[in-house]
Amino acid sequence: MPTLDLDDRQLYYEVHGEGEPLLCVHGLAVDTLGWALQVPAFSERHQTVIFDNRDVGQSSYVTGD
């Protein structure tokens, strides 16, 4: 599971395909699965990056103090 560590938190991401980079940013309360139908087409021509925002999907969750 690829993650990026930032400020004691982990962001989950996936990289698909090759070519010019394409960063897919989803809306509220949607995780990487929201791009499942588009990624195969995008990745034919682009290096497609999808990720889970903080507190969503496989990224770490922030706990209150």
- Any idea how long the chain is? 65
pLDDT tens digits for 44-55?
999 999 999 988
The pLDDT of residue 29 is 81
The pLDDT of residue 65 is 59
65 vs 55: CA distance, rounded Å: 15
Interior angle at CA 15, CA 62 and CA 53, nearest 5: 20
- Going edge to edge, which strands form the sheet with 46-51? 3-6, 9-16, 46-51, 20-24
**Residue 34 per-residue DSSP state:** G
Q: What is the pTM of this model?
A: 0.87
Residue of 21, 7, 29 whose CA lies nearest to 50: 21
pLDDT at 22 over 90: yes
